[in-house]
Structure 1
Amino acid sequence: MTDSDYWRALLTRWSHEWADAQDPDAPEDERLAEDEDILRTRWLGFPPASEERILALEQRLGHRLPPSYRAFLTVSDGWRHAGGFVWLLAGTGDVRWHEDAAGLAEYFPGELDDDSTPEDELLAGMWHRALQLDVESDAVHVLMDPGDVDADGEWAVYSYASWRASPPERYGSFRAFMEDMYREFHSLQTDRSRRTGREFANATTRALDVSVEEARLEALRGRYEEAEAALAEALEYGRPRAAGLRDQIRRLLGQTYTVSFHGLNADPLYGPEVLPVLAAEHVSACRDDSAWTYHLGGASPALAETAREILHDVREGIYRYAPGGAFGRAVAEAREQARWGDADGAWRTLRAALPEWRPVGPEHIAPVGLCADPLLGPLVTPERGRELLATPRAGQRGAVPAPAADVDPPGLAWLTELDPGNVLSSSYRFVLVEAVEPAELPGRLGADGTTVLSEPTTLWESRMLLRGDAHASGWEDRAVVSVGRAGAGWSFALEGRPGGSFAEKWFVSPGVAASRGTRAVTVWSEPSDGHRPGVFHLSVAEDGEERYGFTVREKAVVRGSVPAALDPERLFRPDDPPAERLGERRALEALAAEYGVRLPRFALVRGRLHTFRTRSWNRQPGPGEGYWTLAFVRTRP
Structure 2
Amino acid sequence: MATPVGQQAWRELIDQLIEQRRRLAAADDLYRPLTLPKPGATAAELRAAEERLGHPLDPHYREFLTVANGWDEYFLGSGLLGTDDLGTGDRWFAAEETLQIFMENSSGVLAADLGIPDDPAVCQSIGDNDNGYASHLYLLLQDTQGGPAGGVFPLDIGSDTIWPDLYSYLSYELPQLRAFADSAELGPHSDTWGRDIRKAPPSMADIVAKIAELSALAFPEHPVVLEMGASEAELDELDSAVAGALHPEHRELLSITDGMISSPWGLGEVLSTGQLLDGGRWREILVAAQESEDEAFRMLLHGMRAGGHPDPEPKAPVLQRIGRIPAVPFAILGVRPFGVDTRDGFVRSLLDDSTVAGPRDGHTTAAGTVREHLLKACDSLWWQTRIRAD
Fold-level similarity (TM above 0.5): no
Q: TM-score, normalised by structure 1?
A: 0.27
Q: TM-score, normalised by structure 2?
A: 0.42
Structure having the higher helix fraction is: 2
